[in-house]
Structure 1
Amino acid sequence: LGIAWDGDADRCFFIDDTGEFVDGDFLTALLAELVLEKEPGSDILYDVRASRAVPDIVAAAGGTAHMGRVGHAFMKQAMKEIGGAFAGEVSGHYYFRGFYNADSGTIPALLVLEKLSVEGKRLSDLVGSYRAKYFISGEVNSTVDDAPARIAEIEERYGSIDGATVTHVDGVSVDFEDWHFNVRSSNTEPLLRLCLESLVSYADMEAKRDEVLGIIRS
């Protein structure tokens, strides 16, 4: 097991026993489940980039999942507004009501270590079911000249497809039954950021990712 922190220790990252990086989406789902064991029925917040593993696990554990905007300031404010017990961002920021709604790199490490110790399992065991069902692209960045125009083009292209659900919590998110994606502008750079997930297969995720990237980078 490997645990790493960023320079100011407000983010936490895990490498499992097989040497594989554990995506922040899956850590958010795992931590949400652990928090709900201690605080049943709580509200849980996650960001627009996250895998459907998060709301699925939260619902299965008896909690209520809320999608929020990416960013420290937005997450803390949303935590306060909904009275959430926990919030997670795929970037490795994890927020706790018992820690003044602030993010901590230490609390996630302790919670995961507690889970591994109590259940006698490996981290790869805990996240293996997520990896087998949810195929995620990670965040893919593209430099563009006119981000709003690209976002509008993507929404027009995919939002008109039967079965599509379009939301604008942060950028544009388009959801279908077995895949979804979010495209949003960077707050600091001339970039569009894409996160996409398929529930079909890794190959399906790659194909759909490349298709959306083709529009972004055209």
Structure 2
Amino acid sequence: MVKSTYSFVFLEEKDKSQKDSEQLSKVWKVLSVEDDLDYQNALVSSLEALILPNNIQLKILTANSAFEASNVLSAHKDIGLILLDVVMEDDDTGLRLVSTIREELGNALVRIVLVTGQPGFAPEKEVMSALDIDEYWNKADLKLNKLHSIVSSNMRTWNYISELADARQGLKVVLDAARTINSRYDLATLPAPY
């Protein structure tokens, strides 16, 4: 008689291993939109030094103009944070890009942090009340620790908001299916019991 050996994978173990592999492969995307290449290189170097919890990797994308940024955003729908320079091709290029992102691209989830070296062109109070942005920083105030906390907190917030949006979409699918089933078996169309 041949003995066969089976290995059983318990559901709990499978779920744990699947969660571990998902965490290992989790990537948060940050887009830096900056026309000053020296500043952008320094920013990217600082971001590369950021250590995130749970083996999360940070992927840094760059653009040097509003046009490039629009192309990157169209290609990467899962960008969680944009560090956006206000003054680029024009004095208000960054501000106009915020409107493009929110209105034309319809991206309400991405976190937008305006960064400027010339705060006089776009005063913080007016910009914060007029646009859907999450933070506003002067480049001179962005030291390494502050940059890391801005990125970490905004990416965590984006992650939570994205998970809620996914859950809402899943709930909508379930409700739509329930309505379809309910309409097929409407109580008025069922035969009366004897």
Shared fold by TM > 0.5?
no
The structure number with the bigger radius of gyration is 2
Higher helix residue share: 2
TM-score, length-normalised on structure 1?
0.26
Higher strand residue share: 1
